[in-house]
Amino acid sequence: MCGVFGAVLPAGEPNEAANLAALGLFALQHRGQESAGLAVSDGEQLMLYKDLGMISSVLDERRLPSLRGRLAIAHCRYSTTGSTVWENAQPTFRLGPRRAIAIGHNGNLVNTRELLDQLHGGRARLPASTDTELLTALLADEPAADTVDALIHVLPRVRGAYSLVVLDERRVIGVRDPFGFRPLVLGRLPNASLSDLWANDDASTGWCLASETAALDIVGAEYVRDVDPGELIILEPGAAPRSVRFADATPALCVFELIYFARPDTYMEGRNLYEARRRMGLQLALEHPVDADMVMPVPDTGAPAAAGFAEGSGIPYREGLVRNRYTGRTFIQPSQTMRQRGVTIKLNPLRDVVRGKRLAVVDDSIVRGTTTKQIVSLLRKAGAREVHLRISAPPIYHPCFYGIDTQVETELIASTHSEEEIRQFVGADSLGYLSIQGVLAALELPYERFCFACFDGRYPEPVPYDVSRRKFILEDEATLAGRA
Ligand code: SF4
């Protein structure tokens, strides 16, 4: 999972698209904390800056003033293909025989090895080991006259998840794969120089693209619509957005975006995600009622579902754990002592609140089970009498190939343990997961609109190769043998 943002300011506006794109990206920090970067165009040349680390440390006030132009794209990374090294940060950049191109990619390709076979010169030509770097090289090499034609020629050969922001000298292009695994939305920027802020004048309006609607809110843009699966949206200064369809849509939006990944103030499929999650909590209370003294969330992401669970069960809602918001993911390896402290670095129980209580603890997922086990243990040490776990998602049985770095199957506790074994492992008094039907009832949307593959194994896009080293496919000598 990554965050992407693109911006095009109208003619006459200052060359400050970089500031706007950085601001939009800040709203997407939760989607990737390994690296951040930004590329701009002044209409003639592309400039790029990227580095490892959080957005605020990479795109600070020392960098932004030098990145001048009215077109910009920005990206924050959570790695799904390739290690966390500087070379793999995005946007990618490539100067080809016909075009300069930069790309920010949210998603993960599933036919990287086949695409590598199509690159003249092979792996040796790639300065980084991401699927995005490979896609950028293929697009830069493509002999088509312009970037839009290059995309139309190359994308039908590309399989997997890709919501892209693409920058060339003259435009920003938003792209969403035919399944629309990852979200991408179009927004309209107010034009401060117009007397009517929302004047419907496409030529003098600025436009932006973002992974989530919350990023549009932060930059003061108005949501226009989703980029459709299988669609390109072309943004140029002084022109209305242009839409080009490059494939038929077979929508399969990642349902985990709605359950957990995206911000609660974002809207997807016409649903506000706080409300959607609160309704998942209501469903969970129907499916797995419990006799408890208080309902509490695992902060922060369990909070909306816990509110719904409390409402549905009539049990009071209280906070029982405080989260340290500033620990984040870090590319600095923690010391052995820090690892031993585990979840206590992030979560601290409110002893006076939980002592002597029967707790219904609501979280949004269990992956390996180790964090959940630590949380249950923390609450018991703080004096909780009973700990009943309620999970606002179904059990995760299968890995994701479409942009979430979930573990291989054997590391997913639900794929190797029964629910009773998981309950015993984490040390809870009872355990209940929301069903797939419960998720759909909360969303009031049909199964066919979503990917549920990590819950039911029905992958919309088949994955053709051995998956055991998929993340490092462009770093693995064995898989690359004979392909250099
Ligand atoms: Fe989302 Fe799971 Fe599908 Fe991956 S496999 S896209 S995490 S629903």
Is 333 a residue whose pLDDT tops 50?
Answer: no
pLDDT at 193: 47
pLDDT at 476: 64
Sign of CA dihedral 124, 174, 156, 262: positive
Q: Give φ, ψ of 101 to 5 degrees.
A: -145, 140
Choice among 156-165, 398-407, 466-475 with the minimum mean pLDDT: 466-475
Q: Which residue has the tokens 């979560």?
A: 347
Q: Which residue has the tokens 């086949």?
A: 114
Q: Give φ, ψ of 72 to 5 degrees.
A: -150, 150
154 vs 144: CA distance, rounded Å: 10
Query: For this structure, is 400 an active site residue?
Result: no
**Does ligand 1 come within 6 angstroms of the Cβ of 234?**
no
**Does ligand 1 come within 6 angstroms of the Cβ of 181?**
yes
C-beta atoms surrounding 242 within 10 Å: 13
Q: How far is the CA of 397 from the centre of ligand 1 (A)?
A: 11
**Does ligand 1 come within 6 angstroms of the Cβ of 254?**
yes
Residue 408 token pair? 């291989």
pLDDT at 407: 58
pTM comes to 0.92
Do 387 and 378 form a contact (C-beta atoms < 8 A)? no
pLDDT at 338: 59
pLDDT at 54: 93
pLDDT at 123: 85
Is 408 a residue whose pLDDT tops 90?
Answer: no
C-beta atoms surrounding 364 within 10 Å: 23
Mutate to test the pocket of ligand 1, among 159, 179, 397, 404 (most ligand atoms within 8 A of CB): 404
Q: How far is the CA of 175 from the centre of ligand 1 (A)?
A: 19
Sign of CA dihedral 321, 324, 327, 328: positive
Q: How far is the CA of 65 from the centre of ligand 1 (A)?
A: 38
pLDDT, tens digit (0-9, with 9 covering 90-100), for 449-467: 999 999 999 999 987 655 5
Query: Percent of the chain having pLDDT more than 70?
Result: 89
pLDDT, tens digit (0-9, with 9 covering 90-100), for 173-209: 999 999 999 999 999 997 644 444 445 566 668 999 9
C-beta atoms surrounding 193 within 10 Å: 9
Residue 98 token pair? 């016909």
User: In this structure, which residue's CA is closest to atom 4 in ligand 1?
Assistant: 400
19 vs 448: CA distance, rounded Å: 39
Q: 440 to each of 172, 234, 279, 437, how far by Cα in Å?
A: 35, 33, 10, 5
Is 473 a residue whose pLDDT tops 80?
Answer: no
Q: What would the 3-class secondary structure string for the chain be? A: CCEEEEEECCCCCCCEHHHHHHHHHHCCHHHCCCEEEEEEECCCCEEEEEEECCHHHHCCCCCHHHCCECEEEEEEECCCCCCCCHHHCCCEEEECCCCEEEEEEECCECCHHHHHHCCCCHHHHCCCCCHHHHHHHHHHHCCCCCHHHHHHHHHHHCCECCEEEEECCCCEEEEECCCCCCCCEEEEECCCCCCCCCCCCHHHCEEEEECCHHHHHHHCCEEEEECCCCEEEEECCCCCCEEEECCCCCCCEEHHHHHHHCCCCCEECCEEHHHHHHHHHHHHHHHCCCCCCEEEECCCCCHHHHHHHHHHHCCCECCCEEECCCCCCCCCCCCHHHHHHHHHHCEEECHHHHCCCEEEEEECCCCCCHHHHHHHHHHHHCCCCEEEEEECCCCCCCCCCCCCCCCCHHHCHHHHCCHHHHHHHHCCCEEEECCHHHHHHHHCCCHHHEECHHHHCCCCCCCCCCCCCHHHCCCCHHHHCCCC
Q: How far is the CA of 257 from the centre of ligand 1 (A)?
A: 8
Omega into 300 within 30° of 0, i.e. cis?
yes
